Homo-oligomer: A and B are copies of this chain.
Amino acid sequence: MKSHRKELWFETKTRLAFVNITEDVQAALAASGVREGLCLVNAMHITASVFINDDESGLHEDYARWLEKLAPFDPSPEAYHHNRTGEDNGDAHHKRQIMGREVVVAITKGRLDFGRWEQIFYGEFDGRRDKRVLVKIIGA
């Protein structure tokens, strides 16, 4: 069994951002030499997500507004008890649960085994500082 590990680093300029990381994951897969297996891609921070959806700017605007409606940014400790700790990112811990921590992608014949429109995104909900994504590949 082969395995391969790669970290991707991000510092987004905005609190909320979506970054297409598909090519970075494909590069990690190429480096791994794995032909058949599974590829895990996960946020290493708990105020961020990795998810698969469409690379379409209108959709990303929709997601941003929708997440803001489901879990609005509010630094007050009344809105989010988590903010009693001195943090202001209680909302981000909720947005991340909607969008998910990780994706697992099949590897077939040395490629990410994707449908036509599948693209991997890093979803940032508390940006403007260094954050990491882990790519872990196992297979043969």
Contacts and interface: CB of A to CB of B under 8 A. Distances in A.
A40 B106 CA distance: 7
B38 A118 contact: no
Interface residues of A, number: 60
Within the oligomer, what is the number of copies of this chain? 3
Nearest to A3: B36
A112 to B, nearest CB: 11
Contacts of A54: 46, 82, 93
A114 B102 CA distance: 12
A99 interface: yes
Interface of A: 1, 3, 5, 36-38, 40, 42-46, 51-54, 56-59, 61-63, 66, 70-71, 77, 80-85, 90, 93-94, 96-106, 108, 113-118, 132, 134, 136, 138-140
Top 4 A-B pairs ranked by shortest CB distance? A44-B115, A58-B81, A106-B136, A3-B36
13 contacts: A3-B36, A3-B140, A5-B108, A37-B138, A45-B116, A46-B115, A46-B117, A51-B101, A52-B101, A58-B80, A59-B93, A62-B80, A66-B94
Given A1-B139, A46-B118, A66-B71, 6 more contacts: A5-B113, A59-B82, A59-B93, A61-B81, A62-B93, A63-B94
